[in-house]
Structure 1
């Protein structure tokens, strides 16, 4: 599994990188702009990401806009729907209506609500079929 983590908080980014390293190759980005550059580059090189895990609230370009653009990039590369990267958004928002509304507009695959824990992340990977532990 190849994972792209986009998170502006240093501690969270390190935690996520360490967690996902157990399951595959991990690249990190500090904002949505860097995430899009890495995503486009990986597709162009023929080594696309299987999972993009990003924070909704980031500087430069937020996760919602980045998720929409990821889908546009995939379409420009003629990526078939079954081959699309799973895009999981992380949010600190506690208002479920706000999260759901934001999630629906982003073309994301799924979302998790912070605080992130090993158990929460593992459950999401199981749910999405990336692991079978």
Structure 2
């Protein structure tokens, strides 16, 4: 299984990469533009990402815009909604407007509030089915 982490903060990016590497192959991008390039390349190689962890506030292209474009790319490739990548937005922002934008405008699947913790990430991964209860 392939996982893409799009995060400009070094510490958060490394935390996610290390934590998620137990569950699949993890690639990283440092901004929204790079995430789109990597995502498109994976689809073109018929090796799509199943999960995308995306920071909202990133340079060059923010996570909300990048997530929205990922959904457009998936539609262009003819990917059915049931087979779309699960996009988990992560941000230090936790206000209602940001949450609304993340889910409605960007078509994100889930939302995590920073700072990321092992407990919060584990709970979210269980909720989306990546981790099974033992």
Counterpart CA distance in 2 for 1:88 and 1:15 is 15
Partner of 2:101: 102
Runs of 4+ in structure 1 off by over 3 angstroms are none
Counterpart CA distance in 2 for 1:102 and 1:54 is 14
The number of residues matched between the two structures is: 132
Q: Structure 2: any 5+ residue segments left out of the alignment? A: none
| Deviation, structure 1 residue 91 | 1.0
Which runs of structure 2 are paired with 1:63-82 in the superposition (5 Å)? 63-82=63-82
TM-score (norm 2): 0.95
Counterpart CA distance in 2 for 1:92 and 1:30 is 17
What is the DSSP-based 3-state SS (H/G/I as helix, E as strand, rest coil) of the residue aligned with 1:88?
strand
Which runs of structure 2 are paired with 1:85-96 in the superposition (5 Å)? 85-95=85-95
Counterpart CA distance in 2 for 1:47 and 1:22 is 19
| Deviation, structure 1 residue 94 | 3.0
Counterpart CA distance in 1 for 2:119 and 2:38 is 27
Partner of 1:42: 42
Q: CA RMSD in A?
A: 0.9
Q: Structure 1: any 5+ residue segments left out of the alignment? A: none
